[in-house]
Chains A and B, each alone.
Chain A
Amino acid sequence: MIIYVGTTITPQINDSVRKFGATVWTSQDAELLGRATALNGLAKVDAVVLDIASTSSDLHYILAQCIILQKPTLCLYDKKSVPREIVNHLTKPNVPKSIVVKSYSIASLASSIKQFISSVDEQFLIEEVPNIKFTLRLTQSLDAYLQWLATTKQINKAAYLRQLMKREMDQDSEYKKNDS
């Protein structure tokens, strides 16, 4: 699943989306869109997460495109600081149901995002239990890299490799054709 995350004032939002295994695109990832297209880049993502308290100059534009594309969109704001104007706008009766507005605290953020992701794709978050043993021989440089990841980013090495493979699997259109 690819989720576009807009400019946020709370870095935990990006981390929370990544934690659930989704591929995160931001405004820095425009080169991933490939050749120029009439479709806004948001058409290529599965869902959008926006921090509507952000002062990004294109927040309203991105929201408008989400509405036009009917893209599932989670609009988050810190409950301690409510952006009244935009919340009032988004809670009008003619706003499509694909636009979800939620306040968050740091404690509730992860569950709000998890709930949103599972509403977009129920299958995405069903966790398969890894129970097939697989021995992999690594080169010294690859092992050094994994070790560095484990130390600096506090990541379980095997979990990291599983996430990497899952991402590739999700983006492999040829595999999906065969699998179906």
Chain B
Amino acid sequence: MTTASSRKRVRVYYAGGMQLPAQITYQDIHTKLSEYLVLQMVAEADLVVFEESVNSQATPGSAIQLVQRIAQDITEHFTDYDGFVIIHEQTTAPFTGSLLEFMFDELGKPIVLAGNAQSSNTTEAMLYENMSLRANLMTALQMAVLNCRGVLLAYGSHIVRAVRAINQRDASLGFTAYQEAPVGEVTFGAEVTSGQTPRDNTVCESVLAVSHKVLTMDIHPGMEISPELGLQYDAVIIRGNDQPVVSAEHFPDNVPIIIDAQQQEQHNVKQSNVVNVHTLLLPTLISKTMIAAGRFTDPKEVVQFVATDTHNESVEL
């Protein structure tokens, strides 16, 4: 059990994202990452490398299973550590981060994802690429012991919540926070910005069920949604901004349908298994739908969960 006066402890998971040789072993990764923890300077760090994170042929299904395994491990070790860090590549970090956010109904400590910043053509970013993993890892360790909570992304000078993360695709910025202040900022030190919800070291409630079988479709004229989709998928997401939504008789009632379209006035479907949700960033929408479809079998409950703002994830799009 950690105390205020004792050295801080962080549990660090490797979930991929490092550029590694093809024939690398679990032990090689463990040794490499131990060096990166810089003499355990920021916190006492325990490193966890699961076998499946070493596999360079990971599939989307195995990647989600890895996230579930990490979430379960966090739940089991919640009281033993001040915070948790996951080494993860940048591009899909908002998706993984959002999955984790919704797996925890209550999370009183920080889980921070960090990794190599994406490359850019600027000289500064190329210089930084050689040290970005180590620098971001230190930032993540620091944030993991500060007075904040929730699932955060630390890939540059702004540390943001995963469910509000916008990828700047520029190593100089990493992510920015959409329609809210970042949780933390790096200047010389790394600090939590004012107004953030403080940590609660006693709070951790997780539900780990996730569905892999979620279909996303683009709206197009004449589209049909076959009732057979309800036999193959646990949920369907229909996306489109300028196209009118298809009429009600084209929607089956045996599958949850989430419409992500801004022309809400054109959506006149009154079925209880259909909902229009256009207030979530795309990675957040997909991950939340996967969580909902894993938790509930009733399509009504799935769409209701997706439509309800549970983690302050809704934005004005």
Contacts and interface: CB of A to CB of B under 8 A. Distances in A.
Of the four ranges (under 10, 10 to 19, 20 to 34, 35 or more), the interface on chain A belongs to 20 to 34
Nearest to B174: A38
Contact of A64 (B117, B125, B138): B138
Interface string B27-51: 0000000000011011100000000
B41 A67 contact: yes
A38 B41 contact: no
Contacts of B43: 60
A60 B43 CA distance: 8
A30 B41 contact: no
Contacts, number: 91
B187 A38 contact: no
A63 B125 contact: no
B76 interface: no
Interface in A106-138: none
B278 to A, nearest CB: 29
A68 B138 contact: yes
A58 B142 contact: yes
A33 B185 CA distance: 13
A95 to B, nearest CB: 7
B172 A38 contact: yes
Contacts of B132: 38
Nearest to B35: A94
Contact of B191 (A40, A41, A58, A94): A58
A37 B124 contact: yes
Contacts of B173: 36-38
B166 to A, nearest CB: 13
Contacts of B191: 58
A40 B41 contact: no
B140 to A, nearest CB: 11
A41 B41 contact: no
Interface in B180-194: 186-191
Contact of A61 (B39, B131, B142, B174): B142
A88 B187 CA distance: 27
A35 B39 CA distance: 31
Contacts of A4: 188
A40 B39 contact: no
B138 A38 contact: no
Interface string A16-38: 00000000010100100101111
B188 A39 contact: no
A60 B125 contact: no
B124 A64 contact: no
A31 to B, nearest CB: 9
A25 B39 CA distance: 26
B286 interface: no
B171 interface: yes
A176 interface: no
A170 B134 CA distance: 31
B157 A64 contact: no
Interface of A: 4, 6, 25, 27, 30, 33, 35-42, 56-58, 60-65, 67-69, 89, 92, 94-95
A-B pairs with lowest CB-CB distance, top 10: A58-B189, A30-B187, A64-B41, A61-B142, A38-B156, A41-B188, A64-B138, A36-B157, A64-B38, A38-B171
8 contacts: A30-B187, A38-B124, A38-B128, A38-B172, A38-B173, A38-B174, A41-B188, A65-B135
